Amino acid sequence: MTDTLHLDFDRHRRLGYPEAVFAAGKTVNEVLAAATRLAEAHGQVLVTRASTE
């Protein structure tokens, strides 16, 4: 995972809604890495602005 990805694992507790992965501008591998880490931590993940790639 690159240094440009910052995952907020505590967002749900603080704000009442979970972190999502904003896919625009990220490589497929970056999106997969972020989504995998969030899914492992929370059991589910939302990816937004994903391309057909």
pTM, two decimals, is 0.80
Model pLDDT, residue 1: 47
Cα separation, 15 vs 40, whole angstroms: 20
Q: How many domains does the chain have?
A: 1
Q: Looking at the DSSP assignment, which residues form a beta bridge with residue 17?
A: none
The answer to whether residue 1 is domain-embedded is no
Model pLDDT, residue 34: 96
Residue span of the structural domain in which 21 resides = 11-48
Q: What is the mean pLDDT of residues 12-37?
A: 93
Instruction: Residue 34: name the closest of 1, 11, 4 by CA.
Output: 1
Q: What is the mean pLDDT of residues 21-39?
A: 94
The answer to whether residue 6 is domain-embedded is no
The answer to whether residue 38 is domain-embedded is yes
Would you give the DSSP letter of residue 43? S
The answer to whether residue 53 is domain-embedded is no
Q: Note the Cα 3 to chain centre separation in Å.
A: 14
Is the distance from CB of 19 to CB of 12 less than 8 angstroms? Answer: yes
The answer to whether residue 29 is domain-embedded is yes
The answer to whether residue 35 is domain-embedded is yes
Mean pLDDT estimate for the chain: 90
The answer to whether residue 26 is domain-embedded is yes
